[in-house]
Amino acid sequence: MALAGQVTNPQRLEGRDLTFQSDGAAINAYLARPREPGSYPGIIVIHEAWGVLEHIRDVTRRFANLGYIALAPDLYTRVGAPKPEDSMDIVRSRMLALADAQLVRDLDQAAELLAAQPGMSGKIGCVGFCMGGRTTLLYACGSNRLSAAIDCWGGAVTADAAPATPQRPVPIADLAPRLGCPLYVVAGEEDANPSPAQIEVLRQRLQQAGKTFTVDIFKNAGHAFFADYRPSYREKAAFELWPRMASFFDTHLQGKR
């Protein structure tokens, strides 16, 4: 099966597992980068609800293949990632155990790690899928480290979809005035969380706050349509999305138009 952004020459890249320190914890991560010496921006790739599976590692390599130093932190390191065979109830409980404030601090340390990489050009972007989409939006509104952010079907961003909890005290849509970089919001027309109506609420909040953003709702696609290992995968939409993500990062991280 051909994949959007597929790496056809893995020898061009190097990938390795590593850890970085955040608030006394060693956070696991996967780093991929071009082998060829040069000046490269950074991208943080935030995993779906299932954690840093092979699919996320592969997506990280796809961004490295475009000329980025890409890092996929395992944000479940503190609580333990769910197993592929776990029920959605278990997955959801692990997700909801992650505190928003801690996620922002962990991602700041991930950005520090990227900034220290040899050949790092300075600019850092962030892209996330599912829970990672929500977390990308959270981070883009909670830190000044990013130059671009892509939120792919991040759910539970509006008050009606996400009642406040101690771990998640403020709906992400309410943080829109604090967005610190250009944002690309991606959703599927057939998704229920985030639904097109919830994306519209987010769009209105961003517009009212005068932010630089684009919203893209894909037809004939639902939640996680880029995840080629899941039944939700939609090849046509995935192949349309990839060049749009690449172009967005080209513009805001590489300075290309």
Token match 């989409």: residue?
A: 133
DSSP 179-212: --S-EEEEEETT-STT-HHHHHHHHHHHHHTT--
With contact defined as beta carbons under 8 Å apart, do 69 and 41 qualify? yes
With contact defined as beta carbons under 8 Å apart, do 216 and 209 qualify? no
C-alpha distances in Å from residue 72, one per residue of 29, 45, 90, 133, 176: 5, 5, 22, 13, 24
Catalytic residue check, 86: no
List the catalytic residue out of 141, 191, 228, 252. 191
Q: CB neighbours (10 Å) of residue 219?
A: 11
3-class DSSP assignment, residue 9: coil
Q: Please give the torsion angle defined by the CA atoms of residues 151, 113, 40 and 146, in that order, rounded to the nearest 10 degrees.
A: 40
3-class DSSP assignment, residue 66: coil
DSSP 69-135: EEEEE-TTTTT-PPPTTS-HHHHHHHHHTS-HHHHHHHHHHHHHHHHTSTTEEEEEEEEEETHHHHH
List the catalytic residue out of 130, 141, 152, 181. 130
Catalytic residue check, 191: yes
Cα separation, 45 vs 245, in Å, equals 12
Catalytic residue check, 151: no
List the catalytic residue out of 100, 151, 181, 223. 223
Catalytic residue numbers read: 130, 191, 223
